[in-house]
Structure 1
């Protein structure tokens, strides 16, 4: 069975980060990162929010289901007074 710690580690490795790098980005120490990955401690919401800035799929860490990303639709002026989706 996959746990949040295993999924956190998977995401860290997918992003080619060390425990130290992920911990620094999340505002914690490397030891805390290790505890999270070994399911010995639960990550806090502020940590999870910070690691999303790295491209971490936090939804996957929490429930085992990957987030479906869509590229954003950007509405831009065409130059003739009309708008178009880009």
Structure 2
């Protein structure tokens, strides 16, 4: 899905991609693959602006605080491909 002569950049420490990169496709179309463990404030804001403009939303699951240990176990087992968000109302 990456356009010719485009770059995909992975930011943050992530697990492996679901399928490997096809180096022939990278070379044939002049694509680039890059990565960084962190992004700066300007880059983060640019990403948020891009996502807002194109209606790109994160995959999240809202959990109550009492479910945090179960969620953490699923993360350790690599069973989730989204971000858990703790419902702060469940702290009361």
| TM-score with structure 2 setting the length | 0.20
Q: Which has the higher strand share?
A: 2
| TM-score with structure 1 setting the length | 0.21
Q: Which has the higher helix share?
A: 1
